[in-house]
Amino acid sequence: MKKTFALLLITALLTGCGHAAQQVKNEVTEEVQETKNEVTQTVNQVTGQPANVDAKFAIGSVAPGMSIDAVKQLLGEPTSVHDGDEYTFSNGLQVDVDLLGGVEEVKTYQPNVQTGVGIAVGKTEQDLTAAYGQPNERDSDDGAIEYKYFSGDGSLKLKVTLANGTITEIKSTIRD
């Protein structure tokens, strides 16, 4: 009887330890993931690169969340700066930054600047939907059609404006 009780007690303790061990493992895994995310954000802030930006939201290799210094490294010095926060580059790319120099908006009206998946001003509505699929939102305004696409986490928005079935403007922004 004592042996059976001791065996049952040991089994119960080991089973309880198994659950506790699994709980500890889950907590440690969660903490490691949080630490990894924090390190990734810190590295992105230091290097000026955006955190895990989908190529669909970059225009001319520039995406919201980058630093203006990183943009200058890619594109060179801007051809003009307006109000200290609106930069225009020689390829026609326009970049708006926040007070800390973080890119909030990237836009182009030029056909020589493409998104990360090859969409540019002058391409057709069919080209757009082939590359991006159906938009999350579609609006009409004064004869122009706006296709709006949102990143998976909802933090970025790509707005493509079309007139007569042809792209006239592409804008990528941090979604407010």
Cβ–Cβ under 8 Å, residues 63 and 106: yes
Domain 55-174 architecture: 3-Layer(aba) Sandwich (3.40)
37-93 pLDDT tens trace: 444 444 444 444 444 567 889 999 999 999 999 999 999 999 999 999 999 999 999
Could you write out the three-class secondary structure of 3-35?
A: HHHHHHHHHHHHHHHHHHHHHHHHHHHHHHHHH
Alpha helices by DSSP H, listed for 48-93, are 68-75
Three-state secondary-structure class, residue 107:
strand
β partners of residue 149: 158
Residue 120 has pLDDT above 60, yes or no: yes
Kindly list the domain boundaries of the chain, sorted by start residue: 1-47, 55-174
pLDDT tens per residue, range 13-29: 555 656 666 675 566 55
